Amino acid sequence: TVGAVALDSNGDVAYATSTGGLMNKMVGRVGDSPCVGSGGYADSAMGAVSSTGHGESILKVNLARLILFHVQQGKAVGEAADTALGYMKSKVKGEGGVIVVSNAGDWAAKWTTESMPWAAAQDGKVHFGLHR
Amino acid sequence: MNPVVLVHGGASSEIPQDLEERLRQGVVRAATAGYKVLKEGGRALDAVEAAVTILEDDPEFNAGHGAVLNAEGTVEMDASIMDGRDLSSGAVCAARCIANPIQLARLVMEKTPHCLLTSHGAAKFACAMGVPVIPGEQLITERNRQDLEKEKQKTDAETPSPQKNQG
pLDDT(B167) > 60: no
Dist CA B53 CA B101 (whole Å): 9
The angle subtended at Cα A4 by Cα A62 and Cα B130, nearest 5°, is: 100
- Interface ipTM: 0.98
Q: Which of B89, B160, B163 shows the shortest C-beta gap to A95?
A: B163
pLDDT(B41) > 60: yes
Q: List all residues of chain B from 14 to 73 with a beta carbon under 8 Å from chain A.
A: 14-15, 20, 23-24, 26-28, 30-32, 34-35, 38, 41-45, 47-49, 51-52, 55-56, 61-64, 66-72
pLDDT(B68) > 80: yes
Over the stretch B77-113, which tens digit does the pLDDT of each residue have? 999 999 999 999 999 999 999 999 999 999 999 999 9
Cβ-Cβ contacts under 8 Å, B87 against chain A: 42-43
Span A105-119, mean pLDDT? Answer: 98
Cβ-Cβ contacts under 8 Å, B40 against chain A: none
Over the stretch B88-98, which tens digit does the pLDDT of each residue have? 999 999 999 99
Q: Which distant-in-sequence residues (6+ apart) come within 8 Å of B115 by Cβ? A: A36, B89, B90, B91, B108, B109
